[in-house]
Amino acid sequence: AYFYLNGESKPFVPSQQDYQKVYDEIAARLANETDYDDGSYGPVLVRLAWHASGTFDKETGTGGSNGATMRFAPESDHGANAGLKHARDFLEPVKAKFPWITYSDLWTLAGSAAIQELGGPVIPWRPGREDKDVAACTPDGRLPDAAKDHRHIRDVFGRMGFDDREMVALIGAHALGRAHADRSGFDGPWDFSPTVFSNEFFRLLVEEKWNQRKWNGPAQFTDKSTSTLMMLPTDIALIKDKGFKPHVERYAKDSDTFFKEFSDAYVKLLELGVPFQSKPEDRFVFKASE
Ligand code: ZEM
């Protein structure tokens, strides 16, 4: 578990300050590399950390962020992971500068950094993940399919160990980024500021009228007011289902509550299946850039 820096005889044990340097490097790259999508790699980093973690199966203890097996085919080629190479490649110069960090720690740290740098809540984080080899790749089909319904959401997130409230909070990350026709087949952003973390996804879900989009692509929804935004079938399922809807309404009204409950659920997601030596109270709180 130790990393020997070039020519050093003592093992290098990184401190919180060392991880803050990794955070700062990611933040600096986010600020500089604006020639991508809506001007930020932040959303795709949030998605990388989620897809690295969301393969977890609580029954077998397999999958999860511990391993970073998405570096390898077949996992990198799973349909759900289309486009995440942009996020992995964005982080390669960071890995090169801080070779002592594991990919699995780096990807999750980047998820925490991206949420904070995009104006979201603090995402406390701790190290301790080890990279695994190709044999630990998870089978295809563990990540959710946007064409499906409320039962599928409960099946997939229930397998990870989440309850209704946490499922809704997590999907609120769709305030960020967009769908790409050449990746998932779906198309468009969920709100008008896809590089700012907010509760807009929930407000629009409740306040807008969502119609089926008329196009040749997969079934998705578009807003009546501008026809520029989109919702996935699984997003619309959140206002159709009795267990999910009260949380959508709470988050639509109360941004502070959403930020708090999102943070708790995203921290839990990034830690699923990781055999930490440290305790939850040892998590680091990274200082965001100004
Ligand atoms: Zn997403 N997500 N997601 N998601 N997601 C997309 C994009 C993004 C689902 C899903 O199928 C899709 C969570 C839950 C669920 C983000 C974060 C989180 C896209 C578009 C699809 C199709 C991909 C593309 O074309 O590039 C489904 C079905 C979900 C649950 C039911 C959770 C949980 C997330 C984080 C906590 C983010 C940030 C994006 C935008 C990525 C980007 O590149 O802009």
**What is the distance in A from the centroid of ligand 1 to the CA of 54?**
11
Q: For 155-201, what is each residue's pLDDT tens digit?
A: 999 999 999 999 999 999 999 999 999 999 999 999 999 999 999 99
Instruction: Look up residue 188 and give its amino acid.
Output: G
Instruction: Please enumerate in sequence order all residues whose Cβ is within 8 A of that of 246, keeping only pairs 6 or more positions apart, or say none.
Output: none
Task: For ligand 1, say whether the CB of 172 is within 6 Å of any of its atoms.
Answer: no
Looking at residue 27, what is its pLDDT? 98
- Residue 51 annotated to the active site: yes
Q: Give the C-alpha separation, 107 to 91, whole Å.
A: 8
pLDDT computed for residue 253 by the predictor: 98
Residue 266 Cα: closest atom of ligand 1: 36
* For residue 1, pLDDT beyond 60: no
Q: What is the reported pLDDT for 11?
A: 79
- 3-32 tens-digit pLDDT: 677 666 677 889 999 999 999 999 999 999
Please spell the DSSP secondary structure of 10-26, one letter per residue: SPB---HHHHHHHHHHH
- Compute the distance from residue 44 Cα to the ligand 1 centre, in Å: 9
pLDDT, one tens digit per residue, over 198-226 is: 999 999 999 999 999 999 999 999 999 99
What is the pTM assigned to this prediction?
0.97
> Do residues 159 and 153 make contact, with C-beta atoms less than 8 angstroms apart?
no
Q: Is 150 a catalytic site residue?
A: no
Q: Could you read off the pLDDT of 73-130 as tens digits, one per residue?
A: 999 999 999 999 999 999 999 999 999 999 999 999 999 999 999 999 999 999 999 9
Say which of 125, 190, 210, 247 is annotated catalytic. 190
CA of 176 from ligand 1 middle (Å) equals 9
pLDDT at position 2, please?
Answer: 62
Give SS3 for 42. helix
- Say which residues have a Cβ less than 8 Å from residue 229's Cβ, sequence separation at least 6: 188, 189, 190, 191, 192, 204, 208, 222, 223
